[in-house]
Every structure is written in structure tokens, then in C-alpha cells.
Structure 1
């Protein structure tokens, strides 16, 4: 299935700044599910349904050269366009 990128940004920030951003996203999910993504002149508004798929992935990208490997943690929220779930989930979520 082809993928269309609707919004993308990448920039360096402190852990504190990123934590504040993630808290803001979490607050929006708790509230009405309306998320506004903004970076420079780019923007995108999305309405997140009550039930969706949540993926957490940790990766190591090896360079194979003299530079260091790159580690990442990715958080992904996924749902079918036009979906409106009831908020019930399955599975256990935890961060330790």
C-alpha cells in the first residue's frame, strides 16, 4: 500500500522540551482527540478516534563505518481514516 506523508519535521530538542511536547499530545488525547501539528509554515490538524492501534518500537541503526550506531524509540498511533472507536483497548501498556 502506498504511503503519503502528510506532515514531517525533525529537529534537535532537549529531553525536557520533548517531554513537554509529549505531555501536550497526551493531554489532547485525553481531552477531545484533536491534534494540531505545526512546524514553520507547515501545519496539519487531525482528529484521533477513541480507539486506535499504538505501536512502540526501539531500534538500533548500524552505520557499518567509523560513526556510532544510532538508537531510536518510535511511538506510532494508527487508525483507519474515518474511524470513530469507543475508547476500549486490549493488551497492557506500561513504561518502566
Structure 2
């Protein structure tokens, strides 16, 4: 399977700014509205279905003795997948 990046943005931001971005996405999802991603000269509108697949992943990478931690939140449009119930963030 091939993968095409439709939109990408990566930069250092304050925790408050990150929370505001996540909150804006959450508000759009809660309202059943499409999500528009904008950054620089890029813009992409996405309309997730009522029940997209939701993945939360935490990772640790060590390269050259340097440790990097990450957490990823991902929505996928994968019809027919099993519903394993909600996950909470604390």
C-alpha cells in the first residue's frame, strides 16, 4: 500500500497552543463538522465519518544515545473495524 502525505505541519508550540488546536479539532468532531487544516500555503478540508477509528500511541525512540518521547493521536476512515470501546486521557 502506498501513502501520500496530504498535509503536514511540525513545529515547536506552547502546551497551551497545542491544547487550543486539539480543542478546536474536538469541537469540530463533536459538532459533526468538517475539519480544515491550514498552515503556510497548505490547506486541506477533511470530513470524518460518524465513527472513525481512533488510535493513541506513545513511543520512545533512542537514536545515537538520544531519547525522544512522543504521543500521537490519529483518526482513520476504516469502515467495518471492531469497536473496542472508549479510551480515556487523564
TM-score calculated relative to the size of structure 1? 0.84
Give 5+ residue unaligned stretches, structure 1: none
Is it true that 1:60 corresponds to 2:54 in the alignment?
no
Residue correspondences, number: 88
Indicate the structure (1 or 2) with the bigger Cα radius of gyration. Answer: 1
Aligned to 2:76: 78
Give 1 or 2: higher strand fraction. Answer: 2
SS in 2 for 1:30: helix
Q: Which is bigger in relative contact order (C-alpha 8 A, separation at least 6)?
A: 1
Aligned to 1:91: 85
Q: Judge conservation of contact 1:33–1:49 (CA < 8 Å) in 2.
A: no
Is it true that 1:27 corresponds to 2:21 in the alignment?
no
Q: Judge conservation of contact 2:32–2:50 (CA < 8 Å) in 1.
A: no
TM-score calculated relative to the size of structure 2? 0.89
Q: Distance in 1 between matches of 2:54 and 2:32?
A: 18
RMSD: 1.7
**Deviation beyond 4 Å, 4+ runs, structure 1:** none
